[in-house]
A and B are shown apart, each in its own frame.
Chain A
Amino acid sequence: MTAASQLGYDDLPALLGRMTGDEKHSPAAFSTLDVLWVLYDRVLCDSDRFLLSKGHGPNAYYAVLAAKGLIPVDDLDSFGSFESPLGYHPDRVVLPAATISSGSLGHGLPIAVGVALSGRRTFVLVGDGELDEGSNWEAVQYAGRIRLARLTAVVVDNASATYGWPGGIEQRFALEGWWANRVDGRDHEALATALNDEHPDAPACVVAEIRR
C-alpha cells in the first residue's frame, strides 16, 4: 500500500476490500462513495464540518477517510471487531475523525443546523430513505425559514424511500426556501460544481442521484 497521502480514488476498491475481504469491489457498490470522495477531495476545507447522517454502511466513509490519511489504513482490517474504532455505524468517541456518531436515521441534519448556526460552513450527507424520518423535516423547515446559508445537505438518492418522493426530493427542499439542485451522483465534476456553488441567501440541497 502506498503512503496514505498519495492514495486516490482508484485505490478505494482495495481499501473497501480490506473491510469486506472482497477484492473485486467496484465503487458502484456503495451509493455514497463518489459523493464522499468529491467532498473530501474537492470541497471540504479545514474549517468546514462534515456530518455523515446516513451512518448505515459506513465502509465508503472509512475508505475515504483512510485514503485521505485521516484514519490509519490498517484500521480497516479490523472493521466491526470488538477492539476496532470502525463499527457498522460510526462512533465519534472512538473515531475522532467522525464529526458525529450516527446510525439511527434522522439525527445528522438537525445537528448540522446547530453546527451551522455557529457560523461554520457545514455539510451533511443524508439518504433519500432516511428522509422518511420526520425529524429531518423539522430541520429542513427551520433552516429554510432562517436562510441558514452556511448549510449544505447532500441527499444521496438511490430510490430507497419506502413510498418514494413523487416529483423529486429537491422540490420539497425548494418549497421550504432552499437552493436545490439534482446531479448525477457518480459525476465528480457535476458534484464538485454543485457542492462548491455559492448560495449566499439560503441553505443548499444537492440531490446526488444514484441509478441502480
Chain B
Amino acid sequence: MVENNLETAKETAVTDPSIHVIEAPRYSCALAGVYGTVLGLYDAVPLLHSGAGCGVGQLFGLLYGGGQNAGGDFGGTATPCSCLVEEHVIFGGENKLGNLVDSSIDLLNAELFVVISGCVPSLIGDDVDAVVGEFKDKAPVLHINAPGFKANSYEGYELFFEGLADQLLTEKPVKKGKVNILGVVPYQHIFWKGELKAIKDLLASIEIDANIIFTEYDTLEKLNDIPAAEYNVVVSPWNGHRAAKKLEDKFGTPFISFPGVPVGPKQTSEFLRELSKALNTYSDKVEKVIGKEERRSYRLLEYPGDAIILVRPHSYFAVAADSSTAVSLTKFLTNEIGYLPDIIQITDNPPEEFREAIVREITENLETGYSPDIIFEVDSHKIRENFKDRPFLFLFGSSLEGPIAMSDFGALSVTVAFPSYNRMVLVDNYVGYDGGARLVEHVVTTFAGPL
C-alpha cells in the first residue's frame, strides 16, 4: 500500500511540471490568461483585483512576450487595479474593489468590465461576486475568479468563457451559417490577431460568417451573439475545448474541432471542406473556391522552389511550440515543402487526456516515411538539452531558442511561438492559402543572401 502510494507520487512528479522546479515555462498564470483574453476584446476593460505587480508582471511576461505587443487602450500601465497591500490582506479588499469598479465605470468609455481576482482575494476569501453584483445595473460587468496558482494562462482563456457563459450570455435564436472561432488564445498564440482575421476572411469566401470575438469593435454585440452560432469551431487540439463544451452544455451549440489553425493549401482546403460539410453548405461553389485558391497558391510556391531545392532541400527541422502551432507547422513543412521533422517539442503542457491525440495528429498525417520524436516539455533547460546533437538545420521555436539556435544547435531559426521577444507580430500569421507561402518567405529569408 505504502509502496503503491510512493509509486504514484513519483509518477506525478515526473509528469506534472506544476509541482517541480522548471526553467522559463512558456506560459504564465490563470490571472494572466484571463487578462490577455480580455485585452484581446476591443473596448473591454480588465480590472485586476490583485497586487500591483500582477499587471505589471504580465505586461512584461505575457504582452511583450506575445510578439512584443503592448496592451492597447486598457492594458499595461493603463489597467485599473485594486493594488492590494497588507491592510487589504488582513481586513479584506472588498471596499477598495467596490470603489475601483465604481470609478472605472464612471471614467472609462468601454463596453464591458471584467473583474479578475488574483491570488490575494482568493486566499483571503473576498466575496467578489457580491461586490461585482452591485454594479450589474450600471454596466456590463463580469467576475472571473483566477487565482494565479490555480491554473496556467491557457486555462485562463477557458475560465473567461466559462464565466462569460454563466454571467452574461443568454440563449439566442440560431443564425444559419454563423460560427464562433475558439482556441486562438490572445498573446499566448503570438499570431492571434492575424490568424483570427485570416480565418474570418477564409470562411467569408465560402459564405460562412465567423464571429472571431477578438480584435474587432462592437465587442458586447459580438459576445452576446456567441449563443446564436450554428457551430463553435475550435482550431486547437486543446485550447478552447472547455469553452466549447461549456457553450454546448449551456446553449446546445455543437462544436467541431481542428487540430490547429490551417496552414498552407492542404490544411486550408481540408478545413473548408470539413466545416462546410458540418454546416451542410458544402457544394460545387466551395470546391470552386478551393480549386481557384489552390491553383493560385501553388503557382506562388513555384517562386521559392529554386531556393529550397537548390540550397536547403529536404532539411531536417525541429519545433518548440505550443500544440496548435507545432501540429500545423510540422504538417505544412513536411507535407508541402518536403522537409523532414526531426524533433517536435510541445511546450504548452496540454492536459494528459489530449496528448495522445496530439501525437497521433502529427504522426498519422505526415506524408513521409520519417517519424519525428515528439516530446512534451515545458522546462527550457530540458528543451535545450533535448535539441543537442540532432541533425536539424531549421528550428521553429521561440525567442528562448532563436538567439542560440546557430551557436548551440547549428540551426537557422524562425520565431513562431511564445515567447516572442525577438519578433514583433501585428498582422503576420501562417493561416490559409497565403499563410504557407508566408512561412516559406520566412524560412528562405534565414539563409538567402546577403548579396
Q: Do A and B come from one complex?
A: no
Binding site for B on A (CB under 8 A): none
